[in-house]
Chain A
Amino acid sequence: MNTVTIPSFAAPGLHALLDQLNAEQLDQLDFGVIGFDAGSNVCRYNRHESEAAGLTPPRVLGQPLFTNVAPCLNNFMVAQRFEDAEDGNAALDDTIDYVLTLRMRPIKVALRLLAEPGSAVRYVLVQRRV
């Protein structure tokens, strides 16, 4: 197997790199990864995110992201950005400061939003801010 470098949260061109990583490699990342498909159903969910949220992948995979997994992302800052990118057939790569409620505690995080026209999977990446 080819060696795949494990990218960082801020790595450029991250969307393409994530698409190449298998589930095991995603689990090695030191930030949370939620991938979702054209129907907004979660299709990738790595260990870091699973542990932060306290939810195992079977509870999350296949579920609609913005209604059943993370309703707190269903707003102008996140969900709308993906919709706009899709409507405009444009790429999205933006990092925003946010507060997530992980295990019912408000946690300051940086969210990186990734979408590429023609790519089946879109990503929300989560890294804790200090």
Chain B
Amino acid sequence: MLAVSDDPAAQLAADHEALMQFLYLAPVGLVQTGLDGEILMINPISAQLLMPLQRDGNLVNLFDALADVAPELRHLCASFAQASGMVCDGLQIHLNHPAYPAGGALRPRRSPQVLSLSLLKLDDARLMAVLSDVSEQVRRERQLRQNDAWLNALLTSITDYALVGLDREGRVSEWNETIGRVTGHSGAVVGSSYAVFHPVDAITEAQVRDRLREADQNGWSLDEGARVRADGSQFWASAMISPLPDADPEGDAPAYCMVVRDISDKRDAIETRRKSAFCDHLTGVANRRAFFEAAELELQRNRRTPRPTALILIDADHFKQVNDRHGHPGGDAALRQLGLLLSATFRQVDVVARVGGEEFAVLLPSSTLEGAAAVAERLRRLVAAQPVCFDGASIALTVSAGVAASDGEQIDLDTLMKRADEALYAAKAGGRNRIECWAPAPSTVHPPEPLDEA
């Protein structure tokens, strides 16, 4: 034990040292920064969590360190109007991409997948940040959320529901009054795939089968989302498919039971929750967290039922020049327009997300390389043809894109991302405003640092 001293100065020094060690050993990251993110004080766990994300190994600015994985931070702080207060509380930051630099040498021994960040504005000069590795909690929470949804489906007071029998292939096997009441469909719906209840383009055939396989394996498959009635009007539904135990494998009797509940009255609350957790605040498209959850789920299902899946990485060309010339508000306007064009170009089933400052990713389920490249090309032309109107100025904007696809082969998200990134690099190197597809054995050797200083 350390002795207590009679000398006040020595006691003060000992207290100071104890405090110092307390901070050294705190198992949570603490950082104090200026309003621009400049690091003033930082404890070791923060450095351990942030160093792997830092391209040049110089930990100077918190926003720069997190720029690739949480591009919205700077904006979030700049637009925080109050003199002091919580800027964000437990913001989840997903780290799957980009790959750790320096050949992965910097990655912590058990790589965190998800960081949680809280930012407190102390005054007009200082921010306090709390960082921690919450990978394990997020994994558990995801499981719980599924259980919750399941319980919700069972226990919440049911206003109305349709009970739909499905055959082995997911086709409606017979009509009943509940189907008519909730969806407006007549007996003519018998024989159609249950995709008929989804908005156009919102579910692929492969995903229709996925849900059935999921129900086979887990005993149920549950999801929440928009559904469409026979007259085209939409409602918000919770739908659960479960296999019927005694289904005759050959006969016409239904093999699955699908319960569709109209939960439109709860939709606002659900949407708000979903938006705050899964949407990029600036562009309205999905954020990194939503993208990685959706992409991993799709590729996981892909392993079970192989089919093509495509990924497009899209980068706004010379974006720094846009910011320099028109200021950050001009850059934001350009990104918002890009978000709108992206949402308008891709199918509803495609996952469009902002994954970096000016980098977007689109995952296209059941799409080939050629198919994805064609849509990317359409987007490229659309963007080039529509300058961004901002503050009386017209900002010309172009995009480069890299496309990669899995042809149903076993491929993980990291590899797919890496390939699309290589193709994107080729598009940039080839002069920008163009689309490149990944091909095996690329002819050029790429430097390890990505892209585009401009």
Q: Does A43 contact B (CB under 8 A)?
A: no
* Whole-angstrom CA separation of A106 from B35 in the bound complex: 18
Q: Are A76 and B57 in contact (CB under 8 A)?
A: no
Chain B neighbourhood of A101, CB < 8 A = 24, 42-44, 46-47
Q: Closest residue of chain B to A79, judged by CB? A: B109
- Asked whether A76 lies within 8 Å of B105 as measured between CB atoms, the reply is yes
Which residues 27-76 of A have a CB within 8 angstroms of B?
53-56, 58-59, 68-72, 74-76
Our pick among B16, B25, B109 for the contact of A76 (Cβ within 8 Å) is B109
Contact of B57 among A69, A97, A105 (CB under 8 A): A97
Contact A99 B20 (CB under 8 A): no
> For residue A70, which residue of chain B has the nearest CB?
B44
Contacts of B105 in A (CB 8 A): 76-77
Interface: B21 (CB within 8 A): yes
Query: Given the known A-B contacts A59-B21, A71-B48, are A76 and B108 also in contact in the complex, defined by CB atoms under 8 Å?
Result: yes
Contact assessment for A75 and B20 in the assembled complex, using a CB-CB cutoff below 8 Å:
no
Is B17 within 8 A of A106, CB to CB?
Answer: no
Which one of B39, B48, B59 contacts A75 once the chains associate, using CB atoms below 8 Å? B48
Q: Which of B58-77 contact A (CB under 8 A)?
A: 58-60
B26 → A minimal CB distance (Å) = 9
Q: A87-113 toward B: CB 8 Å interface, digit per residue (1/0)? A: 000000000011111011110100000
From B40, B41, B45, B109, name the one whose CB has the most chain A CB atoms within 10 angstroms. Answer: B109
A80 at the interface (CB under 8 A from B): yes
Measured between alpha carbons, how far is A105 from B57 in the docked complex, in Å? 15
Q: How many Å lie between the Cα of A77 and that of B40 in the bound state?
A: 25
Q: Are B109 and A74 in contact, with the CB atoms below 8 A?
A: yes
Report whether A74 and B48 are in contact in the complex, using a CB–CB cutoff of 8 Å: yes
Cα A98 to Cα B46 with chains together (Å)? 14
Looking at chain B, what size class is its interface with the partner chain?
A: 20 to 34
> With A59-B21, A104-B23, A106-B59 given, is the CB distance from A75 to B107 under 8 Å?
yes
A72 touches B45 (CB 8 A): yes
Partner pick for B44 among A54, A71, A77, CB 8 A cutoff: A71
Q: How far is the CB of A101 from chain B (nearest CB, A)?
A: 5
Distance A45 CA – B326 CA, assembled complex (angstroms): 54
A-side interface size class: 20 to 34
Contacts of B25 in A (CB 8 A): 68, 71
Q: Which of chain A's residues have a CB closer than 8 A to the CB of B122?
A: none
**Interface status of B182 (Cβ within 8 A of chain A):** no
Neighbouring B residues of A108 by C-beta, 8 Å: 58
Cβ contact within 8 Å between A54 and B59: no
Quick check: is B196 within 8 A (CB to CB) of the other chain?
no
- Counting chain A CB atoms within 10 Å of each CB, the highest count among B17, B52, B60 belongs to B17
Cβ B20 vs Cβ A55 within 8 A: yes
Given contacts A54-B20, A55-B20, A56-B17, contact A104 B43 (CB under 8 A): yes
How many angstroms between the C-alpha atoms of A72 and B17 in the bound complex?
Answer: 18
B392 in the interface, Cβ–Cβ < 8 Å?
no
* Chain A residues whose CB sits within 8 angstroms of the CB of B42 once the complex forms: 101, 104-106
Docked CA distance A69–B25 (Å) = 7
| Nearest opposing residue in chain B for A60, CB measure | B21
Q: How far is the CA of A15 from the CA of B214 in the complex (A)?
A: 59
Given contacts A68-B25, A72-B44, A100-B47, contact A58 B106 (CB under 8 A): no
Q: Once bound together, how far apart are the Cα atoms of A109 and B41, in whole Å?
A: 16
**A104–B39 CA distance with the chains assembled, in angstroms:** 10
Are A106 and B57 also in contact (CB < 8 A) when A71-B25, A72-B45, A77-B105 are? Answer: no
Question: What's the Cα separation between A120 and B42 when bound, in Å?
Answer: 33
The yes or no answer to B447 lying at the interface (CB within 8 A) is no
List the B side residues contacting A79 at CB < 8 Å.
Answer: 109
In the complex, the answer to whether A76 meets B107 with C-beta atoms within 8 Å is yes
Contact string against A for B residues 91-126, beta-carbon threshold 8 Å, 1 for contact and 0 otherwise: 000000000000011111100000000000000000
What does the 1/0 interface line of B275-302 toward A look like (CB < 8 Å)?
Answer: 0000000000000000000000000000
Q: For A56, what are the chain B residues with a Cβ–Cβ distance below 8 Å?
A: 17
A56 to B20, CA, bound (A): 11
A residues in contact with B23, CB < 8 Å = 104
CB–CB A99/B48 < 8 A? no
A75 to B133, CA, bound (A): 14
| B2 proximal to A (CB < 8 A) | yes
Residues of A within 8 A of B16 (CB): 54
A106 touches B39 (CB 8 A): yes
In the assembled complex, the Cα of A74 lies from the Cα of B109 at a distance in Å of 7
Q: Are A72 and B109 in contact (CB under 8 A)?
A: no
Question: Nearest chain A CB to B17's CB is how many angstroms away?
Answer: 6
Neighbour of A54 across the interface among B2, B17, B40, B46, CB < 8 A: B17
Inter-chain CA distance A106–B60, complex, in Å, is 8
Query: At the interface, yes or no: B215 with Cβ under 8 Å from chain A?
Result: no
* Interface assignment of B226: CB less than 8 Å from any CB of chain A: no
Given known A59-B17, A75-B109, A76-B109, contact A106–B47 (CB-CB < 8 A)? yes
* Additional 10 contacts, C-beta under 8 A, given A71-B45, A76-B106: A55-B17, A59-B17, A71-B27, A71-B48, A75-B109, A101-B44, A101-B47, A103-B20, A106-B47, A106-B60
What are 5 A-B residue pairs whose CB atoms fall within 8 Å in the complex? A53-B24, A59-B21, A75-B109, A101-B47, A104-B42
| A residues adjacent to B (C-beta < 8 A) | 53-56, 58-59, 68-72, 74-77, 79-80, 97-101, 103-106, 108
4 tightest CB-CB pairs across the interface, nearest first?
A: A72-B44, A104-B41, A106-B59, A72-B48
